[in-house]
Structure 1
């Protein structure tokens, strides 16, 4: 997790209220496909309960799950950076309750309110960095030398 555990913790209460007013509660059944890699990123979610698997297409194979997100985590960051296309796909693992946001509205709010915008961009940047670090660690676990010794 990033230094700030939740997006709302990254901002003053009045800004949190402004952002919350743009979200709406959604209830998603198991195996709901939220988005596909390469498609337009126009929403994001804060997960209230349940889990969502991020996956990546693998040619000739089933999509590979690269990470599973849960309570309190933000699903989606591609909505914040041009060209606003998803880098992964996402599907609910079980029932999920979340707060869903319209990305263009939140981007406009971030532009209009520099304090809120800075908090959102910083949180998302820290989240991306932390997830990249986690992915690197998983790749090293999968493909790094395991129990091998140097030399002939």
Structure 2
């Protein structure tokens, strides 16, 4: 667990969290690697985890009738997944490894229990993820505007 704690302590996403809260996060984490093209999550499927990317890239994609459209690419130090935080705990988009990736994978069910048991921890983590949610929704909105504007990529100019 000391190794996982050291990784968490060096991440900007968690930098202002209390040491005890970082230890709670480390207790819910495990190192995981995935090959390129692995799907980490699919839209509407149960969301019981989130990932901190340590190396590699992950594409966030919106499903469409014709397939999927990437709206953001994430790299080292960034978080994949926030749907674990809010009922009904279902993914809000697809996430696919673009390259081989190394991550910390967090058990969301355990984290939700710990957030309930420690409201200060829950509040702090919720604030971090609320900012992340806003950023992701903004990225998806901008991608949608780009695709659907007259003369945009989706309109065969």
Same fold (TM over 0.5): yes
2:123 is matched with: 118
| Unaligned stretches of 5+ residues in structure 2 | 1-10, 152-157
2:43 is matched with: 37
1:79 is matched with: 84
| TM-score normalised by L of structure 2 | 0.82
| TM-score normalised by L of structure 1 | 0.84
| Unaligned stretches of 5+ residues in structure 1 | 147-152
Identify the structure with bigger relative contact order (alpha carbons < 8 Å, sequence gap 6+): 1
> How far, CA to CA, are the matches of 2:143 and 2:21 in structure 1?
36
2:71 is matched with: 66
- Whichever of the two has the greater Rg, that structure is 1
RMSD: 1.8
Question: Which has more helix, going by share of residues?
Answer: 2
Aligned residue-pair number: 141
